């Protein structure tokens, strides 16, 4: 009797142990795989960029500092900020890497007095739209046409390919990370189109280089919008549309509704040019995403999956998807591609 129950026990154990062992081994392997997958230079998103305890309006917090500091005034900027070297220049601003209390900061100054209005609008927008999508404002001096912002050593988004080719970041140059940047870009467009102040259009965007130069690449490989000088407001309920400047626009990059519609025989006249809305930003998304996806293993597969939504972005203005729809599609495509790339291996193992 005693013997028999013992036999049954060992019998049972012998039957149960192999599957249990197998299960443990499989779990270990899956863990290892996931660990490698996520540890392999995969950008950790969602954590780095979330400030758990954001400062109130009119204050900022910089890297090493714990407390919120009020935006620096003219006096503080004059007293405490030291210009080091020029790092960028557009039509409106000249940008200097500078030092403030052992922090690197970016000091922007108006280039020519004629562009005061644009400069002041940009500053106003920087103040009102502070969020994780917008470069951090540290101070300003309206009398001197000076703005102080957080410095981003990678510079504008134009530098993306060079940065990702550096030995240090080469391992990060993969479709997953580049797709995350495209999602980041579209989420900024979505933010501008749905901001607390209304629908803004990113007008300083007549060619790809121009678009890219308005955004900065942070050292945690996020994108923030930096240049908000040409950001008009669309008010649909009041029927107020916009125009990006008063000059004739040309080329394939701008949306068709931004082109002079009356042909060569009638010369361009600003007051005859019909206004348009934020759908010009949607038209440009596929081109910006194409640049962000770049030319690495897998980016063509992503392009293939985005083909439909990108085609929709090139339709007539009122037939284009909203930024929210593009964003949702991007996120779904990413999720399904990540599932596909992790799962086949796990399935093989099982």
Ligand X SMILES: *[C@@H]1O[C@H](CO)[C@@H](O)[C@H](O)[C@H]1NC(C)=O
Ligand Y SMILES: Nc1ncnc2c1ncn2[C@@H]1O[C@H](COP(=O)(O)OP(=O)(O)O)[C@@H](O)[C@H]1O
Q: Which residues bind ligand Y (CB under 6 A)?
A: 87-93, 95, 106, 108, 135, 149-152, 155-156, 213-214, 216, 226-227, 229
| Rounded CA separation 94/109 (Å) | 5
235 binds, among ligand Y, Mg ion, ligand X, none (CB under 5 to 8 A by kind): ligand X
Tell me: does residue 198 bind ligand X (CB under 6 A).
yes
Smallest separation, CB 241 to ligand Y (Å): 24
329 binds, among ligand Y, ligand X, Mg ion, none (CB under 5 to 8 A by kind): none
Tell me: does residue 118 bind Mg ion (CB under 5 A).
no
Tell me: does residue 275 bind ligand X (CB under 6 A).
no
198 binds, among Mg ion, ligand X, ligand Y, none (CB under 5 to 8 A by kind): ligand X
187 binds, among ligand X, Mg ion, ligand Y, none (CB under 5 to 8 A by kind): none
Is residue 159 within 8 A of residue 292, CB to CB? The reply is no
Q: Which of 233, 235, 234, 228 is nearest to 125 (CA)?
A: 228
User: Which of residues 237 and 318 has its CB atom nearest to ligand X in the complex?
Assistant: 237
CA diameter of the chain: 108
Question: Binding to Mg ion (CB under 5 A): which residues in 216-245?
Answer: 227
152 binds, among ligand X, Mg ion, ligand Y, none (CB under 5 to 8 A by kind): ligand Y
| Rounded CA separation 257/266 (Å) | 17
Which residues is 242 bridged to in the sheet? 276
Residue 166 has φ and ψ, to the nearest 5°, of -65, 145
47 binds, among ligand Y, Mg ion, ligand X, none (CB under 5 to 8 A by kind): none
User: Which of residues 152 and 193 has its CB atom nearest to ligand X in the complex?
Assistant: 193
Q: Which of 164, 196, 268, 278 is nearest to 232 (CA)?
A: 278
Question: Binding to ligand X (CB under 6 A): which residues in 224-243?
Answer: 235, 237-238
| Rounded CA separation 327/304 (Å) | 16
User: Which of residues 51 and 89 has its CB atom nearest to Mg ion in the complex?
Assistant: 89
| Rounded CA separation 228/203 (Å) | 9
| Rounded CA separation 41/176 (Å) | 10
Tell me: does residue 155 bind Mg ion (CB under 5 A).
no
123 binds, among Mg ion, ligand Y, ligand X, none (CB under 5 to 8 A by kind): none
Is residue 212 within 8 A of residue 291, CB to CB? The reply is yes
Tell me: does residue 90 bind Mg ion (CB under 5 A).
yes
| Rounded CA separation 68/46 (Å) | 22
Helix (H) or strand (E) holding 80: helix 74-80
C-beta neighbour count of 243 within 10 angstroms? 17
Smallest separation, CB 232 to ligand X (Å): 11
Question: Binding to Mg ion (CB under 5 A): which residues in 188-217?
Answer: 214
Smallest separation, CB 127 to ligand X (Å): 16
Region of 86-94, 144-152, 170-178, 289-297 interacting with Mg ion (CB under 5 A): 86-94
| Rounded CA separation 159/151 (Å) | 15
| Rounded CA separation 99/238 (Å) | 45
Give the gyration radius of the chain's Cα atoms.
26
287 binds, among ligand X, Mg ion, ligand Y, none (CB under 5 to 8 A by kind): none
Smallest separation, CB 323 to ligand X (Å): 17
User: Which of residues 123 and 333 has its CB atom nearest to ligand Y in the complex?
Assistant: 123
Residue ranges in contact with ligand X by CB under 6 A = 198, 235, 237-238
Residue ranges in contact with Mg ion by CB under 5 A = 90, 214, 227
């Amino acid at each position: 009797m005693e013997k028999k129950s013992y036999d049954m026990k060992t019998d049972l154990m012998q039957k149960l142990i192999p599957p249990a062992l197998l299960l443990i081994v499989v779990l270990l392997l899956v863990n290892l795989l996931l660990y490698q997958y996520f540890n392999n230079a995969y950008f950790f998103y969602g954590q780095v960029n979330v400030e758990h305890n954001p400062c109130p309006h009119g204050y900022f917090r910089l890297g090493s500092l714990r407390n919120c500091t009020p935006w620096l005034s003219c006096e503080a900027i004059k007293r405490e900020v030291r210009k080091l070297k020029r790092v960028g220049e557009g039509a409106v601003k000249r940008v200097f890497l500078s030092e403030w209390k052992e922090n690197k900061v970016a000091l922007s100054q108006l280039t020519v007095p004629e562009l005061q209005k644009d400069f002041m609008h940009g500053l106003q927008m920087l103040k009102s739209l502070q969020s994780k999508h917008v470069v951090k404002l540290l101070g300003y001096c309206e009398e001197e046409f000076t703005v102080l912002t957080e410095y981003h050593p990678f510079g504008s988004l134009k530098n993306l390919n060079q940065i990702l080719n550096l030995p240090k970041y080469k391992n990060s140059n993969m479709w997953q990370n580049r797709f995350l940047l495209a999602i980041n870009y579209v989420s900024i467009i979505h933010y501008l189109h749905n901001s607390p102040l209304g629908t803004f259009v990113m007008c300083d965007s007549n060619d790809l280089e121009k678009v890219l130069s308005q955004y900065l690449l942070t050292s945690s490989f996020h994108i923030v919008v930096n240049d908000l000088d040409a950001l008009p407001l669309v008010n649909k309920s009041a029927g107020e549309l916009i125009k990006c400047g008063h000059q004739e626009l040309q080329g394939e990059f701008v949306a068709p509704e931004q082109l002079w519609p009356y042909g060569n025989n009638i010369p361009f006249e600003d007051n005859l040019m019909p206004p348009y809305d934020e759908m010009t930003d949607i038209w440009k998304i596929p081109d910006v995403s194409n640049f962000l996806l770049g030319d690495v293993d897998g980016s063509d597969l992503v392009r293939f999956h985005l083909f439909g939504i990108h085609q929709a972005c090139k339709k007539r203005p009122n037939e284009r998807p909203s930024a929210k729809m593009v964003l949702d599609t991007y996120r779904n495509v990413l999720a399904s591609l990540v599932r596909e790339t992790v799962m086949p291996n796990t399935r093989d193992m099982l």
